[in-house]
Amino acid sequence: MSKNDPRKALGKGLHSLLPQRVAAPPAVTPIPLPPTEGNVALVDIYAISPNPNQPRREFDPLAMMELTQSIERDGIIQPIIVRSIGANEYQIIAGERRWRAAKTAGLTKVPVLARTADDQKVLELAIVENIQREDLNPIELAQAFHRMTVELGLSHDEIGEKTGKDRATITNIIRLLQLPEDLQQLVSARKVSPGHARALLKIQDAQTQREMAERCIREGWSVRQAEEYTRPAKGSTSSPLPNPKQLQADLDPNVKAAIGEIERKLGTRVRITEKGRDKGQIEIEYYSAEDLDRIYNLIVTD
What pLDDT is attached to residue 242? Answer: 44
Co-location of 224 and 257 in the same domain: no
Q: Give the pLDDT confidence score for residue 77 in this predicted structure.
A: 85
Number of domains in the chain: 3
Query: Among the three residues 83, 118, 153, which one is the final residue of a domain in this structure?
Result: 118
Residues of the chain with pLDDT under 50: 6, 9-11, 13-19, 21-22, 24-33, 235-247, 249
Q: What's the whole-model pTM score?
A: 0.58
Q: Give pLDDT, residue 243.
A: 46
What phi and psi, each to the nearest 5 degrees, are found at residue 231? -75, 135
Number of other residues whose CB lies within 10 A of the CB of residue 91: 17
3-state class (DSSP) for residue 56: coil
Is 164 in the same domain as 206? yes
* 117 sits in which H/E element: none
CATH, residue 209 = 1.10.10.2830
Any catalytic annotation for residue 263?
Answer: no
Same structural domain, 61 and 158: no
Tell me which of 96, 124, 140, 158 is the catalytic residue: 96
Express as a percent the part of the chain with pLDDT over 90: 22
Per-residue pLDDT at 295: 82
Is 128 within 8 Å of 165 (Cβ atoms)? no
Q: Are residues 137 and 220 in the same domain?
A: yes
**Residue 176's domain spans which residues?**
122-230
